């Protein structure tokens, strides 16, 4: 299922974040010429060229990325009085780019640039006060400085104020005030503000819900190259939400975001290739995108990859590998992954059969509201598989799953009442449950979730050892610790 959720960006403020007009990148030859021009001018002592040359080294424009050279040229530009050099050097010290990380130096150079009239630098000074970077934290002062810079027209400060009010960071949360600041920042060309403004219009948080307006802001931010916005715009195109449905264009935007490392976009693009939605059907390509997103820890993609491996869909069938991926999703806390891994353990598919462990995973997924897992847990108690036999508890779990719309649970209840299996025979109840199973009935309002508190089987397996083996087999442990595959 394709989903779009509101993602709150961290209140990090830096010179390059989400600014600049959308446009095509320079060709390789043009980049090389630009680098050579800045090098020549910088070596003649031009501080503006020094700052631009530092940026070339930092971003790999016309040359290979060299963070030490970037910091060196930012420092030379800063010492010559270049505001851009001061901002770049402060950023290097803040994040340890080409120099040892040093909050005091970051605060100093942001302050130097602010003293020379840079509102961008002033916004970064406010950030330092907000997070205690090189100075004692002081939220009241941070708010005052952000407001001062915003009133002077600095989009970064406007965005920061929007984030503070949106998250309730240092102030009481006020969605309407957040929207006001995001609008000002968006109108000034700040892409992240455009995206978050879109999320507010999409959810109706602090403003009247309006999907057409949301789409406008998502598209604007997408054109500035923001992956989250590309993904959000693609979802709207995919679903025809606030814009005419266009699955082909949705796939284009998913691919752009995916190529920038956006895991949900990778997964959705995989779904598109899997089912031929907006692109020609290509199961192998689908698996490739699922795998890319799976290695980034995206649970939907992990489960999709597991299912492909389980059924040999677009990839050679490998039940053991499928079980490993399901186990990874389960350990990440994903209910669907817990369900699939539980099924693998219960049936011994690709993994040594362990019904007790299976029941444990079903119970955990049930606590997260996974209806299929509630039914499977009921089956465990009904037949004493992996747990102590408890027919009364099984019937209550069947009822809960049925109330949540599980037709298999309804059919099981009908059978039990018809045969007197675990309950007193009752033909009327049997007929009622069969009728409900065929009508799409559900009644979640009547569901008694307290039964799940009683259905918590103990798991005797050494799960930590099992997880070590699981991660080792997948190569996931190296990814989690930053090692090489």
Domain boundaries, the chain: 1-14+30-116, 355-460
The string of pLDDT tens digits covering residues 303-326 is 999 999 999 999 999 999 999 999
Q: Which helix (H) or strand (E) holds 381?
A: helix 371-383
250 near 235, Cβ under 8 Å?
yes
Q: In residues, how long is the chain?
A: 485
CB-CB contact of 205 with 174 (8 Å)? no
Residue 176 — very low, low, confident or very high, per pLDDT cuts 50/70/90?
A: very high
Report, as an integer, the average pLDDT of 447-472: 61
First to last CA, the chain: 30
Q: Residue 482: is its pLDDT beyond 50?
A: no
Q: How far is CA 292 from the centre of its chain?
A: 14
Is a pLDDT exceeding 80 seen at residue 223? yes
Q: What angle do CA 109, 113, 118 make, to 5 degrees?
A: 145
Distance of alpha carbon 89 from the chain centroid: 31
C-beta of residue 146 within 8 angstroms of C-beta of residue 123 = yes
Quick check: 461 pLDDT over 90? no
What is the pLDDT, as a whole number, of residue 456?
A: 73
How many angstroms separate the CA atoms of 252 and 262, rounded? 14
Range of lowest pLDDT (330-339, 373-382, 475-484): 475-484
Quick one: pLDDT band at residue 91, thresholds 50, 70, 90? very high
pLDDT of 30 reads 85
What pLDDT is attached to residue 26?
A: 54
pLDDT value, residue 12: 39
The whole-number average pLDDT for the span 383-406 is 95
Distance CA 399, CA 418 (A): 15
Burial of residue 464, with CB atoms counted within 10 A of its CB: 0-12 exposed, 13-18 middle, 19 or more buried: exposed
In CATH, what number does 355-460 get?
Answer: 1.25.40.10
Question: Mean pLDDT over residues 252-281, rounded?
Answer: 98
Q: Please, which pLDDT band fits residue 29 given cuts at 50, 70 and 90?
A: confident
Average pLDDT over all residues of the chain: 89
pLDDT for position 27: 63
Task: Name, in order, each residue with C-beta under 8 angstroms of 44's C-beta and a sequence gap of 6 or more.
Answer: none
Return the structure tokens found at 74.
């930012």
pLDDT, tens only, 112-128: 999 999 999 999 999 99
pTM metric for this prediction: 0.82
Instruction: Quote the CA–CA distance of 399 and 442 in Å, as a whole number.
Output: 11
What percent of the chain has a predicted confidence (pLDDT) above 70? Answer: 88
Average pLDDT, stretch 89-113? 96
- Per-residue pLDDT averaged across 236-252, rounded? 98
Percent of the chain with pLDDT over 90: 85
CATH class in words for 1-14+30-116 = mainly alpha
Reply yes or no on whether the pLDDT at 330 is more than 80. yes
CA distances from 7 to 120, 197, 228 (A): 24, 11, 8
Judge whether 1-14+30-116 and 355-460 match in fold.
yes
In this prediction, residues 403-426 reach a mean pLDDT of 94
Q: What pLDDT shows up at residue 11?
A: 40
Among the listed ranges 8-17, 50-59, 174-183, 336-345, which one has the minimum average pLDDT value? 8-17
Q: Residue 470 above 60 pLDDT?
A: no
Residue with token string 């019937």? 395
* Contact (CB, 8 A) for 88 and 70: yes
Is 277 a residue whose pLDDT tops 70?
A: yes
CA 337 – CA 309 distance, rounded (Å): 14
């Amino acid at each position: 299922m394709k989903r779009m959720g509101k993602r709150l960006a961290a209140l990090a403020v830096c010179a390059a974040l989400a600014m600049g007009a959308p446009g095509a990148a320079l060709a390789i030859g043009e980049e090389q010429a630009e680098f050579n021009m800045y090098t020549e001018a910088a070596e003649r002592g031009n501080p503006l060229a020094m700052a631009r040359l530092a940026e070339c080294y930092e971003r790999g424009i016309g040359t290979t990325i060299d963070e030490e050279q970037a910091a060196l040229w930012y420092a030379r530009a800063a010492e010559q009085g270049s505001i851009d050099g001061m901002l770049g050097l402060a950023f290097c010290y803040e994040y340890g780019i080409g120099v040892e990380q040093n909050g005091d130096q970051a605060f100093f150079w942001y302050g130097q640039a602010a003293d020379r009239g840079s509102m961008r630098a002033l916004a970064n000074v406010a950030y330092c006060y907000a997070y205690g970077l090189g100075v004692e934290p002081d939220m009241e002062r941070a708010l005052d400085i952000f407001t001062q810079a915003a009133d002077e027209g600095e989009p970064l400060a406007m965005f920061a104020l929007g984030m503070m009010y949106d998250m309730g960071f240092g102030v009481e949360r006020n969605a309407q005030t957040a929207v006001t600041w995001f609008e000002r920042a968006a109108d000034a060309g700040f892409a992240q503000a455009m995206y978050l403004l879109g999320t507010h219009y999409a959810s109706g948080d602090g403003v009247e819900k309006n999907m057409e307006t949301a789409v406008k802001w998502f598209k604007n931010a997408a054109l500035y190259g923001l992956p989250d916005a590309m993904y959000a715009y693609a979802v709207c195109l995919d679903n025809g939400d606030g814009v005419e449905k266009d699955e082909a264009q949705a796939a284009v935007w998913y691919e752009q975001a995916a190529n920038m490392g956006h895991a949900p976009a990778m997964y959705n693009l995989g779904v598109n290739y899997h089912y031929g939605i907006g692109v020609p059907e290509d199961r192998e390509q689908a698996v490739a995108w699922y795998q890319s997103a799976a290695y980034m820890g995206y649970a939907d993609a992990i489960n999709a990859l597991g299912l492909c491996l389980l059924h040999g869909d677009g990839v050679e069938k490998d039940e053991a590998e499928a079980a490993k991926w399901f186990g990874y999703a389960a350990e990440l806390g994903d209910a669907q992954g817990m369900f699939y891994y539980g099924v693998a353990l219960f049936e011994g598919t690709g993994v040594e059969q362990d019904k007790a462990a299976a029941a444990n995973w079903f119970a955990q997924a049930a606590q997260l509201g996974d209806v299929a897992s509630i039914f499977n847990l009921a089956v465990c108690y009904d037949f004493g598989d992996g747990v102590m036999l408890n027919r009364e508890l099984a019937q209550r779990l069947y009822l809960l799953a049925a109330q949540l719309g599980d037709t298999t649970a309804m059919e099981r209840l009908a059978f039990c009442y018809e045969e007197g299996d675990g309950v007193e025979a009752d033909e009327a109840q049997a007929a009622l449950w069969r009728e409900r199973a065929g009508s799409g009935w559900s009644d979640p309002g009547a569901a008694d979730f307290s039964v799940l508190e009683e259905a918590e089987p103990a798991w005797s397996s050494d799960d930590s050892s099992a997880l070590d083996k699981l991660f080792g087999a997948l190569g996931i442990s190296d990814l989690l610790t930053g090692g090489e595959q």
